Amino acid sequence: MSLRIIFMGTPEFSVPTLRALKEAGHEIVAVYSQPPRPGGRRGLDLQKSPVHQATELLGIPVHTPVNFKDDADRAQFRSLNADVAVVVAYGLLLPEAILSGTRLGCYNGHASLLPRWRGAAPIQRAIMAGDRKTGMMIMKMEKGLDTGPVALTREVEIGENATAGELHDQLMLIGARAMVEAMECLEAGDLPLTPQPEEGVLYAAKIDKSETRIDFSRPAIEVHNRIRGLSPFPGAWFEAEINGRAERIKVLLSAVSEGGGEAGTVLDDNLTVACGSGAVRLTRLQKAGGKPLAAADFLRGTPLPAGTRLG
């Protein structure tokens, strides 16, 4: 036996779940993904999403509606006669017509321990807030934003130096296994649902560009958490004067360190930088248009000696 599944997802994070459901023997009757977006070096080429590309390799039909306001798109969804829709980072708040458009409803794989970090950027927000654990949750979707009852939870410890990229890769694999398990239970009629607590709700808003500039006046642990929470994308950054010109430099890795001084001042030859309290050592950096480099290699080409002000 297997379920007839509509899969809905867009980024790389969604792809392992799509493949895992297919490998588990379920029938993926169609895949929905966000429409191709401008890309390429000049932004002139339309690029299909990672899920779209993976789906074409699997030989499964792909649909890319902008939204589901058109009655024809809603009718097409219902006409697939699916048992269930599986949603992983699709990127669109689904209307009631879609949530009720399959026999068993829609189930979402979400990368947080709900109700903490509902919304668009749960992985980044958890690290930026200094959380020590997170996880993947499989929930049945309702009209609200990540408000539905939870079917399955997998907790994960967040290391003190873990980056958003590392946690992303870990959770996408855990989420794939969890969704396969949840669908097995659903098929067997044994998938209990637990309402989310009313307390502890936090929203993981999409990362804004204004949040990516490093504020060295903050305590060192906050600076470190912001750097790793934004690594590798979009990346936390500072500006420094190099050869008489202000240049933007992205920081991909850091470590909390000892030391003190005026916030934003380089304290030694190892790129230890004073913060509002304490200091951080910048260990991996990248100039605009350049490759990511370990601090020692970066400094050979771009000296930032003690006393340099970063901001």
Q: Would the annotation count 112 as a binding residue?
A: yes
HEC sequence for 11-64: CHHHHHHHHHHHHCCCEEEEEECCCCEEECCCCCEEECCHHHHHHHHHCCCEEC
Question: What span, in angstroms and rounded, lies between the C-alpha atoms of 303 and 309?
Answer: 12
Q: Would the annotation count 114 as a binding residue?
A: yes
State mean pLDDT over 281-303.
Answer: 95
User: What single-letter DSSP state applies at residue 243?
Assistant: T
Q: Which two tokens stand for residue 132?
A: 């020590």
Question: What span, in angstroms and rounded, lies between the C-alpha atoms of 216 and 236?
Answer: 11
Nearby residues of 51 by Cβ (< 8 Å), 6 or more positions away: 7, 9, 10, 11, 14, 15, 18, 31, 33
Task: Spell out the CATH class of 209-301.
Answer: alpha beta
Q: Which two tokens stand for residue 52?
A: 């779209």
**First CA to last CA distance, the chain:** 60
User: Could you state, in order of their start, the residue ranges of all structural domains in the chain?
Assistant: 4-203, 209-301
Burial of residue 155 (CB within 10 Å: 0-12, 13-18, 19+) is: exposed
pLDDT tens-digit series, residues 77-90: 999 999 999 999 99
DSSP bridge pairs for 236? 251
- Residue 141's pLDDT is 98
State mean pLDDT over 157-166.
Answer: 98
Q: What is the pTM of this model?
A: 0.95
Q: Which of 87, 72, 139 is nearest to 112 (CA)?
A: 139
Taking CA 159 as the corner, what is the angle to CA 154 and CA 165, rounded to the nearest 5 degrees? 80
Question: What span, in angstroms and rounded, lies between the C-alpha atoms of 52 and 58?
Answer: 10
Q: Would the annotation count 99 as a binding residue?
A: no
165, pLDDT greater than 70: yes
Q: Do domains 4-203 and 209-301 have the same CATH topology?
A: no
133, pLDDT greater than 70: yes
User: What single-letter DSSP state applies at residue 286?
Assistant: E
Counting DSSP H helices and E strands in the chain, the numbers are: 8, 16
Question: What span, in angstroms and rounded, lies between the C-alpha atoms of 250 and 234?
Answer: 9
- Residue 144's pLDDT is 92
Q: How far is C-alpha 286 from the geometric centre of its chain's CA atoms?
A: 21
- Choose the CATH number for 4-203 among 3.30.70.890, 2.40.37.10, 3.40.50.170, 3.40.50.150: 3.40.50.170
User: What single-letter DSSP state applies at residue 277?
Assistant: B
DSSP bridge pairs for 256? 280
126, pLDDT greater than 90: yes
pLDDT tens-digit series, residues 257-287: 999 999 999 999 999 999 999 999 999 999 9
Distances (CA, A) of 137 to 48, 114, 147, 153: 27, 7, 12, 5
Question: What span, in angstroms and rounded, lies between the C-alpha atoms of 13 and 165?
Answer: 11
- Residue 45's pLDDT is 82
- Residue 243's pLDDT is 82
118, pLDDT greater than 70: yes
